[in-house]
């Protein structure tokens, strides 16, 4: 049984035909079961998982669906933010990973993780990041807490790359 999946989780599938509803032709030439797909925010009445496939180019993104029994592995953004793992990453020389390593060395009162291209590179070993790549972070904290602390990031010292922070908000009953 797979854990509860949330948007931004990376999941690996047991077969190519596990992807449903994807019509983009480039997917067949790029995606294989050794690569993850990312969980998207969407709802399906049949219980399928909304996923996105990442291509080799920035503009190559495809949305589809997966049945939960086809999932073989799950990596959450939080799994990618462990300082010792970041330090051992083949991408530690890249600015986004250096910044993530600095963040990981701090004691935070919230849970956070790495998403986007940096998260994908860390999870797969595929070199999709470079010196100009940004760092996408996901923070799981109460809304009230984040509003109080949001100005703290503006006072930080030197930043080595652009950082995008997304606050996680659970879906409410009846919302999408």
Active site residues: 134, 136
Q: Cα separation of 137 and 119, whole Å?
A: 9
For 8, 32, 36, 93, 167, the CA distances from 101, given in Å and listed in that order, are 20, 30, 23, 11, 20
In the sheet with 111-115, reading across from the earlier edge strand, the strands are 111-115, 135-140, 163-167
Residue 41 DSSP one-character state: S
Question: How many Cβ atoms are within 10 Å of 148's Cβ, its own excluded?
Answer: 10
Which residue, among 98, 111, 83, has the nearest Cα to 163 in the 3D structure?
98
Crossing angle for the helix pair 95-104 and 116-124, nearest 10 degrees? Answer: 90
């Amino acid at each position: 049984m797979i854990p509860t999946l949330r948007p931004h989780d990376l999941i690996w599938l047991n077969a190519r035909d596990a992807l449903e509803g994807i019509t983009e032709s480039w997917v067949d030439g790029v995606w294989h079961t050794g690569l993850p797909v990312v969980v998207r925010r969407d709802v399906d009445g049949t219980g399928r998982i909304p996923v996105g496939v990442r291509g080799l180019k920035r503009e190559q993104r495809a949305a589809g669906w997966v049945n939960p029994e086809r999932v073989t592995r799950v990596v959450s953004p939080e799994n990618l933010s462990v300082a010792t793992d970041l330090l051992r990453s083949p991408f530690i020389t890249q600015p986004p990973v250096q910044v993530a390593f600095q963040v990981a060395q701090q004691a935070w009162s919230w849970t956070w993780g790495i998403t986007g291209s940096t998260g994908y590179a860390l999870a797969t070993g595929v070199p999709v990041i470079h010196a100009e790549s940004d760092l996408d972070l996901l923070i799981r904290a109460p809304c009230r807490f984040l509003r109080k602390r949001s100005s703290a990031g503006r006072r930080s010292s030197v930043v080595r790359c652009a950082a995008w922070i997304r606050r996680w908000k659970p879906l409410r009953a009846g919302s999408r």
